[in-house]
Amino acid sequence: MTTTTTPPSGAPAAPSAEESTGALLLRGMRTNMRQYGMLVALAFLVVLFQIWSDGTLLLPSNVSNLIQQNGYILILAIGMMIVIIAGHIDLSVGSLVAFVGAMSAVMMVRHDLPWVLALVLSLLIGAVAGAWQGFFIAYVGIPSFIVTLAGMLLFRGLTQIVLEGQSLSPFPDGFQNIAKGFVPEMGPYTQYHNPTLVIGLATVAFLVLREWRGRKQQLAYDLDVPPTGLWVAKLVAVGAAVIAFTLTLASFHGVPVVLLIMCGLLIGLGYVMRHAVVGRHVYALGGNKAAAKLSGVKDKRVTFLIFVNMGVLAALAGCVYAARLNAGTPQAGLNFELEAIAASFIGGASMSGGVGTVMGAVIGGLVLGVLNNGMSLVNIGTDYQQVIKGLVLLAAVGFDVWNKRRVGR
């Protein structure tokens, strides 16, 4: 006689491994839909323009050029993302880029200051400019839109005054290497750039270690984690992408200096926004300022520091841009604020604040960079380029609005 055992009616059936993996994938996609969507869009653009340009897009020389060409925009986008997360906006960064580039030119060309000292002083100028704007926004209570709009006009005018309407050049080679230089070659001849190979392997090791530690912590707190097979597949995919990128750079001149600067900012500010108290306060202010203040967040100090940080990053971007041009010019930085804001929103920022990541800003900036570079390679005119970038920005923000409404149902 055969007996059949049925589970109690209140106990759900245990899901199969395939079902749990699919459910986790679906949940992960829903939770990070915007960021994953932008990664998919970036991959699609790379494949599209690689085919359309007959393989020119991913040539090692063009990949290096793409990084150097967009380095200053990515630096601005990182700072702008933090500003937008806090619920503010900064319209002055393009003009501040021009002003700091002009001041660096005056210091090095007219007064023969060493380029390292000029760089440090330029960053201090950016910090002072950011503190000046942050004071009016945080402590006087003037909206950031108005303060930074005034700053945009002010810094553009100061640039014209400092340069007397003329460009100043040339810069020392060391300063130019900030934007156009590469990590020096070392070691035996291997057909590849040896330091780049070492940096790539170290990056893979760092990412694997970070993922392993994160998974270990999640397991320690009994949190849901992806199945081991899926987790390993993710590590393999990320590692393969990093290695492919490393080999591409190593087959040319190696890692551009500006890429090291961006990686340092990505790691440092990414850690601050994810783990530091001030980073959590930034998200809290953008999500609900009234509740954050009631919870003890010092909103004025946090807002002030956000704009000081933005000023320093704008100054750094100004130095990188001036170094790339090898000149301080009154026309520098035109529309850079729009590019940085667009990169932030494409990368996952929300108009209401409280949403976004530093990595998302980089992804958004790369989407714009690949669009610009790819469309130039296939000879699409600048007029059509502006139309296409405007539609991409509108689609990204529209997707954010649609996603919020869908989640709110």
d(CA 259, CA 79): 16
Give me the half-sphere count of Cα atoms (radius 13 Å) on the Cβ side of residue 22: 5
Residue 1 placed within a domain: no
Confidence band for 91, pLDDT divided at 50, 70 and 90: very high
Q: Is residue 28 part of a domain?
A: no
- pLDDT tens string 25-34: 555 555 555 5
Residues 250 and 280 in one domain: no
Q: Are residues 177 and 195 in the same domain?
A: no
Q: Is-contact 117 111, C-beta < 8 A?
A: no
As a whole number, mean pLDDT of residues 330-359 equals: 90
Tokens 């529309």 sit on residue: 335
* Residue 60: cis peptide before it, omega within 30 degrees of 0: no
CA-closest candidate to residue 133, choices 122, 123, 125, 144: 144
Q: Which DSSP symbol is given to 78?
A: H
CB 312 within 8 A of CB 121: no
Q: Which stretches within 137-227 are classed as H helix?
A: 144-163, 173-180, 194-220
| Domain membership flag for residue 104 | yes
- The number of distinct structural domains making up the chain is 2
pLDDT band for position 40 (cuts 50, 70, 90): confident
- 266 lies in which domain range? 36-181+256-399
Residue 187 has pLDDT above 90, yes or no: no
d(CA 176, CA 193): 21
**Domain-embedded: residue 409:** no
**Residue pLDDT, tens place only, 256-303:** 999 999 999 999 999 999 989 999 999 999 999 999 999 899 999 999
The residue type of 402 is W
Tell me whether residue 175 is exposed, middle or buried, using C-beta atoms within 10 angstroms of its C-beta: 0 to 12, 13 to 18, 19 or more: buried
pLDDT for 8: 45
Is pLDDT at 142 greater than 70 in this prediction?
yes
What average pLDDT does the chain have? 88
Question: Is the CB of residue 72 less than 8 Å from the CB of residue 317?
Answer: yes
Which residue's entry shows tokens 């850690």? 271
Mean pLDDT on 164-188: 91
If phi > 0 it is left, if psi is from -120 to 50 it is alpha, else beta; for residue 165 that is: left
- Mean pLDDT, residues 378-383: 88
Tokens standing for residue 127: 């910090």
Looking up tokens 């005018």, which residue turns up? 157
Structure tokens at 149: 């709009």
In the listed set 232, 255, 278, which residue is the last one of a domain according to the structure?
A: 255
Confidence bin at 352 (pLDDT 50/70/90):
confident
Domain end call among 193, 220, 255: 255
**Shared-domain flag, residues 76 and 153:** yes
Which whole number is the average pLDDT over 68-88? Answer: 95
The CA dihedral of 46, 52, 56, 60, to the nearest 10 degrees, is 10
Tell me what the mean pLDDT of segment 200-224 comes to.
89
H helix or E strand, kind and range, residue 117: helix 115-135
Residue 10 — very low, low, confident or very high, per pLDDT cuts 50/70/90?
A: very low
Residue 51: how many other CB atoms lie within 10 Å: 10
HEC per residue, 332-393: CCCCHHHHHHHHHHHCCCCCCCCCCCHHHHHHHHHHHHHHHHHHHHCCCCHHHHHHHHHHHH
Q: What three-state secondary structure class fits 276?
A: coil
Q: What is the pLDDT of residue 221?
A: 85
Query: DSSP state, 108?
Result: I
pLDDT of 195 above 60? yes
Of 221, 255, 289, which residue constitutes the final position of a domain? 255
Q: What is the mean pLDDT of residues 10-26?
A: 48
For residue 60, what are its two tokens?
A: 């090692």
Considering the domain architecture, whether residues 94 and 112 belong to the same structural domain is answered as yes
**219 within a domain of the structure (yes/no):** yes
Residue matched to tokens 């790339």? 324
Gyration radius of the chain over CA positions: 24
Note whether 205 and 337 are same-domain residues.
Answer: no
Question: Per the domain annotation, does 57 fall within a domain?
Answer: yes
Same domain, 212 and 302: no
The three-point CA angle 240-69-201 to 5° equals 25
Specify the pLDDT at position 189: 81
| Domain assignment of residue 408, yes or no | no
Same domain, 56 and 144: yes
Which residues, including other chains, have CB under 8 Å from residue 379's CB and lie 6 or more apart? none
